[in-house]
Structure 1
Amino acid sequence: MTVRNSAPVQIFPGKGLGFITLGASLHNILTRVKSHPHVYPAIDLSYSSTEPLCKPVVLQLPSNGLRLRFDGPDQRLRLIEVLDFSRVNLVYKSQDVLKNGKTDELATSPQGPSFRHVYNRLFGPSYPGEYVPPSDRSSYGTYVLSYPGVAFSFPLQHSAWSDQCDFVALLSSSAALPATSMSIFQGSSWPEIRMKLFTQPPQGPRFSAVAGKSRDSFADEIEEIHILGAGKLEVIRRASPPLLINLGETTPQDLIAGFGPPDAIYRKHDRRISIHRATGASGGDPLHMSPPPGRAMDIPDTDHSSSNSVTDDSDEETFPSNIGDPTSLPTECFFNYFHHGFDAFISYPTTAGPAFPNSGISDPTPPLSTSQLTVTKLILHGNVPGSYPFNRHRRSRWMIHLDQSGDGLTSETPYDEISGRLRDVWKGYYSNQSEERSTQRPMVLNRGWGDSPESSVEFLGGWEETTARGPRAGPDGQDGGLGNTELFGFPGLLFEVLKNGAVSCLTVY
């Protein structure tokens, strides 16, 4: 016997179902669902292992009869589907969609709401819907009855269907069965929206908690981050003007003013990569990450961000209470913005990476000696399904502007293409081909070993002996459970790349 959740869930056509709102990020929805295991005991996530950033991500809640579809590039909720009406107590304007045990013909049946109940008591008259003939030998096709923002699917005997029939009389007859599913979407009707469901701009916010609330109460959400070079980043926001971040100049107070207080402050010291910094500084070892001439090697602290939890070499995450006071900040810490999709490394000013050769931007000047803490690195998280730190942050989208044409590389561009373009851009930057090859060999990074599931990273085997990447994964796109990725460096940029070629994380320094 199916047991339904007794708590009523309100239907909001074109907007959402209960707290699940259209336009919300995958990170936001999945985090909230996982926080209530007694309500959502089973969670299934489906995605393309080869193209996780291009194809939709599907979150199924089988115990609740729900299926949620997110677009791949932005990971925002586009479609809510109810597949089993008996597993969720749906309500629309105080009217039950399905009353348990009631079989009255005008109300509902155990399988789902009848057409008469939907038409007479819930949503009222509608324009004719769309009939979909059976694709197999089934005797039933599907009639989709659509209202603005919501649609129901009714099985209909194919032999009874006719373009000339009155659809109200047809669906009220014995030839039609109760609804088998319901969809909530953004649009005037299902036929009008289905072809652009995953491409039209969502109207709702990524963070469902701010839906229907004043914008003044929350920091404006980030749409995209434009990487201009020379340590300059332009942050495109949903409703506010763009915000410029200058590495080595932007202060923690500037971040708080633009993005609100961080979700956490994190300080970590991992001595295991200090050997790479020391060796690179000698100038005789190829482990440096393509620094400007004369600069010592400095691996941009990817292992210090919030994609890792506490270890013996770490200070615990501390949630901010008095961040407005700069004296309360630990030296060299991270501001973790999980809901914005990035971490900012707070340290004493350093010289940012060089400008792109054809960008029209001047190279940065060395900073003056100062005790003022600034943002020196920005870590942009891809939240790629299948990656080890998946769902620690919501997805951060970015674009690298290589020149003044407006064309660039995006967070969805496969790394093979990114690497090819950047090699061309920096072709004249290296003194010889040997230096170019030595600075672009990947370092293998493992996030899967340690005492806890989110332990600090391990470097495996140093740099590979060849720049040829070759096959990066098996047929399922997995790496055997180690959580291995590879780090590839270019001036001012460090890419963490999965075996399927997706960029899991980009550090700008």
Structure 2
Amino acid sequence: MTARTSAQVQIFPGKGLGFLTLGASLHNILTRVKSYPKTYPSIDLSYSSTDPLCNPVVLQLPSNGLRLRFDGPDQRLRLIEVLDFPRVNLMYKGQDVLKAGKTGETTISSPQGPSFRHVYNRLFGPSYPGEYVPPADNSPYGTYVLSYPGVAFSFPLQHSAWSDQCDFVALLSSSAALPATSMAVFQGSSWPEVRAKLFTQQPQYPRSSAVVGKSRDSFADEIEQFHILGAGKLEIVRRTSPQLRINLGETTPQDLIAEFGPPDAIYRKHDRRISIHRAAAAGGDNLHLSPSPGRGMDIPDTDHSSSNSVTDDSDEDISPGNLSDSASLPAECFFNYFHHGFDAFISYPTTPGPPFPTSELSEQPHSPSSSPQLTVTKIILHGNVPGSYPFNRHRRSRWTIHLDDSDDGLTSESPYEEISKRLRGIWKEYYNNQAEERAMQRPMVLNRGWGDSPESSVEFLGGWEEPASKGPRSSSDNHDGGLGNTELFGFPGLLFEVLKNGAVSCLTVY
């Protein structure tokens, strides 16, 4: 006997299934599903280990008979599939999708899905003819897909009974058709119309299912993309609100709170072990950590908050709701915006990175102010790459680096090999020689897998002076020995955390 979820799940054609809303982020859905382990005891996540940002991500809930498909670049829910009807108690406008039969006092579910008659007469009513998919092998059954706006059912149909001239209602009502084996919920007027653009069309609903149907004034507008312009300047594209500019060293914590609401968490402590590399850069005559004359590589602290969001490791607890003035903040802390996909480092003003040499942005970075006012000095954009150590701590941030005004720039989906080639090219004239260029491009290895708990601080292995492998970024078994190692690559104003498959897991703009 197949176990069946007792809670009723409402079908909303074109919108979602229960709390599963089309357009919701992978972070939003996975976080909510994991918070109900008794309801969702089994979670399977499938993705491409070689190209996780371009190929779809599939979340399966086998105990609930559900499969959810997300696009790779934006990680938003595009398709909800019911693959095992007896495992989920579906309802549509007060009607059971699957009728249960009774044996004595025991209620048992049908081993199959709803019949065509039930779907057609009781649930959704008349429909235009669907499409027939012949069997791919020697099976005697093909598949007839019956589409309604935003929802479709698949019925096995005897191939020998199929004819283009048949009345599909009579055919599916006959013994030649079996009950439905699956149901799909999608955004569009019909399955044939939406199939080709399923993962590319603009989602109608926001990334957080909790804000669907609520007033825009009751929640902070969601971020669509960050535009990195150089010289410490970022433009933020939002879903409905006007674009917002962040100027590192000028934008204040109160500016962030006014636009994005209080942070989800505040983390004070940050890892200072990397400061040894800043000291080496300042004191050494032969190692120049910056291709920009007169400016040392200001390597950002990379203890990123996302890896240390639990306040037990913090020097003190800081309540996000107690931010009436900057005096309540420590001199250095992270604002964690998990649901917006970024962190902001708050400290006293510093000089931001220089403009890109190819950019028409002529404005030079401003000198740090002597004012005691705290400002945003770093923005950390999280890629939420499946398979990475900090996966699902933040929702995915998308960004574009605008090197000049003539092209579309480098994006969060660009392989790091492409990013590195472009950035090395624009900064090439600032290296004294090839030896200095090679020294600059040696990565620092970052391990997030060691420690007494998953929330432990990062560990740095090696340094800028030590060589690192430049070969393929994925091993034959797609494992790295369990250490979760990534590599850090720096350019003026930018620090990239890169996985072995070349995907950028995190970008720090400083």
Q: Normalising by structure 1, what TM-score?
A: 0.96
Q: For the residues of structure 2 that align with 1:141 and 1:451, how far apart are their CA atoms? A: 54
Residues 316-395 of structure 1 aligned to structure 2 (within 5 Å): 318-361=318-361, 362-395=363-396
* Shift in Å, 1:435: 2.0
* Shift in Å, 1:101: 1.9
Instruction: Tell me the alpha carbon deviations over residues 365-423 of structure 1, each in whole angstroms, 9 at most, x when there is no partner.
Output: 21221100000000000000000000000000000000111420000000000000001
Which residue is 2:153 aligned to?
152
Q: For the residues of structure 2 that align with 1:317 and 1:310, how far apart are their CA atoms? A: 10
Unaligned runs of 5+ in 1: none
Which residue is 1:405 aligned to?
406
Q: For the residues of structure 2 that align with 1:18 and 1:310, how far apart are their CA atoms? A: 31
Q: For the residues of structure 1 that align with 2:247 and 2:469, how far apart are their CA atoms? A: 34
Which residue is 1:51 aligned to?
51
Partner AA of 1:146 in structure 2: S
Q: For the residues of structure 1 that align with 2:2 and 2:46, how far apart are their CA atoms? A: 25
Unaligned runs of 5+ in 2: 104-108
Partner AA of 1:238 in structure 2: R
Contact 1:21 1:77 in 2 (8 A): yes
1:208 aligns to 2:209 (yes or no): yes
* Shift in Å, 1:467: 7.3
Q: For the residues of structure 2 that align with 1:61 and 1:340, how far apart are their CA atoms? A: 26
Q: For the residues of structure 1 that align with 2:458 and 2:494, how far apart are their CA atoms? A: 19
Between the two proteins, the alignment pairs up a number of residues equal to 504
Contact 1:279 1:285 in 2 (8 A): no
SS in 1 for 2:236: strand
Which residue is 2:187 aligned to?
186
Percent identical residues:
83
Which residue is 2:77 aligned to?
77
Which residue is 1:62 aligned to?
62
Q: For the residues of structure 1 that align with 2:391 and 2:252, how far apart are their CA atoms? A: 29
Which residue is 1:441 aligned to?
442
* Shift in Å, 1:322: 1.4
Partner AA of 1:99 in structure 2: K
* Shift in Å, 1:294: 2.8
Q: For the residues of structure 1 that align with 2:193 and 2:306, how far apart are their CA atoms? A: 42
Which residue is 1:294 aligned to?
294
Q: For the residues of structure 1 that align with 2:408 and 2:463, how far apart are their CA atoms? A: 34
Partner AA of 1:491 in structure 2: P
Which residue is 2:246 aligned to?
245
Which residue is 2:10 aligned to?
10
Which residue is 2:106 aligned to?
none
Worse overlay, 191-200 or 457-466: 457-466
Worse overlay, 467-476 or 326-335: 467-476
Which residue is 1:167 aligned to?
168
Contact 1:343 1:378 in 2 (8 A): yes
Q: For the residues of structure 1 that align with 2:406 and 2:477, how far apart are their CA atoms? A: 38
Instruction: Tell me the alpha carbon deviations over residues 306-364 of structure 1, each in whole angstroms, 9 at most, x when there is no partner.
Output: 23345986436644121132111121100000010000000000000000112111220
Q: For the residues of structure 2 that align with 1:25 and 1:327, how far apart are their CA atoms? A: 35
Q: For the residues of structure 1 that align with 2:240 and 2:42, how far apart are their CA atoms? A: 36
1:29 aligns to 2:38 (yes or no): no
Instruction: Tell me the alpha carbon deviations over residues 434-473 of structure 1, each in whole angstroms, 9 at most, x when there is no partner.
Output: 2222122100000000000231111112236557721212
Instruction: Tell me the alpha carbon deviations over residues 273-307 of structure 1, each in whole angstroms, 9 at most, x when there is no partner.
Output: 2322222221436373x264333443201124323
Q: For the residues of structure 1 that align with 2:268 and 2:385, how far apart are their CA atoms? A: 25
Partner AA of 2:334 in structure 1: F
Worse overlay, 451-460 or 277-286: 277-286
Going from structure 1 to structure 2, the CA distance change for 1:66 and 1:287 (only over 3 Å counts) comes to farther
Which residue is 1:231 aligned to?
232
Partner AA of 2:148 in structure 1: Y
Contact 2:297 2:492 in 1 (8 A): no
Going from structure 1 to structure 2, the CA distance change for 1:258 and 1:312 (only over 3 Å counts) comes to closer
Q: For the residues of structure 2 that align with 1:71 and 1:269, how far apart are their CA atoms? A: 34
Going from structure 1 to structure 2, the CA distance change for 1:96 and 1:311 (only over 3 Å counts) comes to closer
Instruction: Tell me the alpha carbon deviations over residues 97-129 of structure 1, each in whole angstroms, 9 at most, x when there is no partner.
Output: 0122269xxxx9441100000000000000000
Contact 2:23 2:205 in 1 (8 A): yes
1:98 aligns to 2:103 (yes or no): no
SS in 1 for 2:306: coil
Contact 1:270 1:314 in 2 (8 A): no
Q: For the residues of structure 2 that align with 1:285 and 1:505, how far apart are their CA atoms? A: 29
Q: For the residues of structure 1 that align with 2:432 and 2:375, how far apart are their CA atoms? A: 32
Partner AA of 1:278 in structure 2: A
SS in 1 for 2:172: helix
Q: For the residues of structure 1 that align with 2:483 and 2:317, how far apart are their CA atoms? A: 24
Residues 484-503 of structure 1 aligned to structure 2 (within 5 Å): 484-503=485-504
Q: For the residues of structure 2 that align with 1:385 and 1:188, how far apart are their CA atoms? A: 31
* Shift in Å, 1:432: 2.4
Q: Normalising by structure 2, what TM-score?
A: 0.96
1:261 aligns to 2:259 (yes or no): no
Going from structure 1 to structure 2, the CA distance change for 1:316 and 1:207 (only over 3 Å counts) comes to farther
Which residue is 1:111 aligned to?
112
Q: For the residues of structure 1 that align with 2:333 and 2:254, how far apart are their CA atoms? A: 14
1:126 aligns to 2:127 (yes or no): yes
* Shift in Å, 1:88: 0.5
Q: For the residues of structure 2 that align with 1:291 and 1:142, how far apart are their CA atoms? A: 61
Partner AA of 2:415 in structure 1: P
Q: For the residues of structure 1 that align with 2:313 and 2:266, how far apart are their CA atoms? A: 16
Q: For the residues of structure 1 that align with 2:58 and 2:317, how far apart are their CA atoms? A: 31
Which residue is 1:414 aligned to?
415
